[in-house]
Amino acid sequence: MTSRICLILLCFGMSALAADQSVALKAARMFDGKSNALVQNAVVIVQGDKIVDAGSNLPIPSGAQVIDLGDATLSPGFIDAHTHLTADFSGNYNERRLQEVDVNVSEHAIRATAFARATVEAGFTTVRDLGSRLVGSHEFVDVALRNSINKGVVVGPRMLVATKGIGSTGGHFDPTNGFRDFLFGREPDYTDGIADGPDEIRKAVRFEVKNGADVIKAAVSGGVLSLADEVDTPQLTPAEMAALVDESHRLRKKVAVHCHGDQAAHDAIEAGVDSIEHGSFMKPETLTMMKRKGTFLTPTLMATEWIMSKLENYPPALQAKAKAAAAARSEMFRNAVKFGVKISFGTDAAVFPHGQNAKEFKLMVDLGMTPVDALRSATANDAELLGIGHKVGTLEKGKLADVIAMPGDPTSDITATERVLFVMKEGKIIRRGGPIVQGISKSTTPDIAAPVD
């Protein structure tokens, strides 16, 4: 009995000691998510899962474990506001479509755990995962992945998930688009995210929230990687969009809409959506309206960049759509920066191999964004868009200890973001030192080195 009590006390004593143990992260500089300039001689003090202090030349608490990262820059963990961690669309389009129907859902889920790991090891400690669907399946793989990460079963970023994504019959999200009619025995319905008319849209939103959605995603215009639609046609009516936003906001969920076309963007912004994803063809008047309403733009430059670099992997109809979107998006992005539209960082990871998310930074800077604004988009801006700004997005007292480090100074070379060398999530070190192979070249052969720690 006595020894059992001693053991219990010992266990409590040890966990109390572990929770009290401070860690001091030191580096030559720090981007804190708030300031316009980097802080020199940076110190971030972490205790348990929280930041207890962050600043320049802070005194190190006695007994703290010191991790000196040298000539590096500390940053809040990056956030990607547009991923699809349960999928990999990066290879040959037709092969990928075949995989969707001939690889079973469990295998898709197991692959997703490798994609989650590649993402967090690249410095992305949070993602907003905007749509997870497998034609003919009602499994919620994104919900399962999020829950497994939260329970510590799988290593990965904090996830806010959208489940199926909502869209119209024959629209960008219709999973049977391009297949022979009734190949899957029935037309998709609200349980697949396919809904027509305001009442069905509300039902689809309610169904997704019931099954674990943190955020609602909808397709309001055509898209690049879908066969039976034009890239910029509106796919929901203003009345359907109004129902989408009203129902989602009633249930305290934000609304992200896939949208390339200008008319659809105009209607969606008017309806009060929280972010426009892609936005390729948006005209200056529409961007001005976004600025006025405070709507975020998630540009996903990496998606078009990847498709344009591998055009031979896509059917001719999709090549034409990709070219049209790519031709329009640079001017749209430059205008968005010029007009001061709120820009969130989101990549559409899955269209390109998971783990290469940080390449988006250079594309943003090349199109006129300052390096600090690009860093802010992936930290404080995304935290605000996701509604988690009170927990993450900046390095300051009371925030969760999501801290990463990259070599050198990202404000003089933004590609430093692609070489993250240290990742801490909620006070736990996920990666320390050592290069990893960024991303996964083939979904069947995950090629990620084990973390040093």
254: left (phi over 0), alpha (psi -120 to 50) or beta: beta
In the complex with Zn ion, which residue's Cβ is closer, 348 or 426? 348
- Least separation in angstroms between residue 222's CB and Zn ion is 13
In the complex with Zn ion, which residue's Cβ is closer, 348 or 402? 348
CB 25 within 8 A of CB 39: no
434, exposed or middle or buried, with CB in 10 Å at 0-12, 13-18, 19+? exposed
- Residue 154 CB contacts under 8 Å (≥ 6 apart), including other chains: 113, 116, 117, 145, 148
- Residue 304 CB contacts under 8 Å (≥ 6 apart), including other chains: 224, 280, 322, 325, 326, 329
In the complex with Zn ion, which residue's Cβ is closer, 129 or 200? 129
- Least separation in angstroms between residue 352's CB and Zn ion is 11
In the complex with Zn ion, which residue's Cβ is closer, 51 or 264? 264
Distance, first Cα to last Cα, the chain: 37
In the complex with Zn ion, which residue's Cβ is closer, 73 or 119? 119
In the complex with Zn ion, which residue's Cβ is closer, 85 or 367? 85
In the complex with Zn ion, which residue's Cβ is closer, 165 or 371? 165
In the complex with Zn ion, which residue's Cβ is closer, 348 or 418? 348
Please give the residue ranges that form the binding site for Zn ion (CB under 5 A).
Answer: 348
- Least separation in angstroms between residue 260's CB and Zn ion is 11
Tell me the HSE value of 86 on the side-chain side, using a 13 A CA sphere: 29
- Residue 141 CB contacts under 8 Å (≥ 6 apart), including other chains: 86, 105, 108, 109, 112, 132, 134
Residue whose Cβ sits closest to Zn ion:
348
- Least separation in angstroms between residue 441's CB and Zn ion is 21
CB 434 within 8 A of CB 449: yes
- Least separation in angstroms between residue 130's CB and Zn ion is 5
- Least separation in angstroms between residue 332's CB and Zn ion is 17
In the complex with Zn ion, which residue's Cβ is closer, 244 or 436? 244
- Least separation in angstroms between residue 224's CB and Zn ion is 10
- Least separation in angstroms between residue 279's CB and Zn ion is 13
In the complex with Zn ion, which residue's Cβ is closer, 54 or 145? 145
In the complex with Zn ion, which residue's Cβ is closer, 274 or 402? 274
- Residue 281 CB contacts under 8 Å (≥ 6 apart), including other chains: 232, 260, 261, 262, 265, 325, 328, 332
> How large is the greatest C-alpha to C-alpha distance in the chain, in angstroms?
76
- Least separation in angstroms between residue 141's CB and Zn ion is 15
- Least separation in angstroms between residue 84's CB and Zn ion is 6
Q: Which residue has the tokens 């990871």?
A: 349
- Least separation in angstroms between residue 409's CB and Zn ion is 32
CB 304 within 8 A of CB 325: yes
Q: Which residue has the tokens 């969920």?
A: 253
Q: Which residue has the tokens 């801290």?
A: 403
